[in-house]
Amino acid sequence: MKKILIVLSAITIIACKNSENSEKKPAEEQTNQELAQNESEEYLKRGEEFSTENVLSAEEMKAEFDAMKPGDTISVKFKSEVEKVCKKKGCWMTLKLDDSLTSFVKFKDYAFFVPLNAENSETIVKGKAYITETPVEELRHFAKDAGKSEAEIAAITTPKREYAFMANGVLMKNKNE
């Protein structure tokens, strides 16, 4: 019993000394901690954490998408405004690229969601951008299933190109500022 008490006392003393050492951080580390704390207050975080450095604007991201072909994938971070969000779970959102184009954003492995009231929130996403293209035949099939007329189905002559994004992390500007 005495041996156990001695061992526990030694562990406690060592732990106390380690915590004293960790409290004496250099000024630079404290500054980095304060910055991280400020960033965490500024943004709601979902998924994988990441820095806000080297983030593309919505316009720059649109240019990246325009240069891609179906099958291309790029790892990127970009900042935009949320146009729409899934109203059931927050399991997807669309981010504005310009006045008429958006990127459809899903979350990797369905591992996290965004708030249901996220519309118009400034958001930064990190992940993989890619292009999907639905062939004419498939679009016509969907139109037929939707009960469209023969004329509407025949009018479908070009594939549908969509800008997609698989996010592994999201930073959403807090609305309380």
The pLDDT assigned to 32 comes to: 39
What count of other Cβ atoms lies within 10 Å of the Cβ of residue 129?
24
The pLDDT assigned to 107 comes to: 97
Q: Which pLDDT tens digit goes with each residue over 97-106?
A: 999 999 999 9
Please indicate, yes or no, whether the overall pTM of this predicted structure exceeds 0.85: no
In this prediction, residues 71-94 reach a mean pLDDT of 95
Q: Which of 162, 177, 46 is nearest to 95 (CA)?
A: 162
Q: Which pLDDT tens digit goes with each residue over 3-43?
A: 443 444 444 444 444 434 444 343 334 333 443 444 456 89
Look-up of token digits 């008429």: 100
Torsions phi, psi for 97 (to 5 deg): -105, -35
Confidence class for position 174, pLDDT limits 50, 70, 90: confident
The pLDDT assigned to 14 comes to: 44
The pLDDT assigned to 176 comes to: 57
The pLDDT assigned to 166 comes to: 98
Phi-psi region of 114 (alpha: psi -120 to 50; beta: other; left: phi over 0): beta
Containing 165, the helix (H) or strand (E) segment is strand 160-173
Coil/strand/helix, residue 69:
coil
Pairing state of beta strands 160-173 and 43-47?
antiparallel
Structure tokens at 118: 């996220």
- 5-9, 118-122, 131-135, 169-173: least confidently modelled range: 5-9
Q: What is the CATH number of domain 44-173?
A: 2.40.50
The CA distances from residue 130 to 49, 61, 62, 111, 164, in Å, are: 21, 11, 12, 20, 5
- pLDDT at residue 172 greater than cutoff 70: yes
Structure tokens at 50: 């990441």
The pLDDT assigned to 41 comes to: 65
Q: Give the span between the Cα atoms of 37 and 17, in whole angstroms.
A: 26
SS3 content of the chain, % helix, strand, coil (to 5): 35, 30, 30
Report percent pLDDT > 70 for the chain: 75
The CA distances from residue 61 to 56, 113, 153, in Å, are: 6, 22, 32
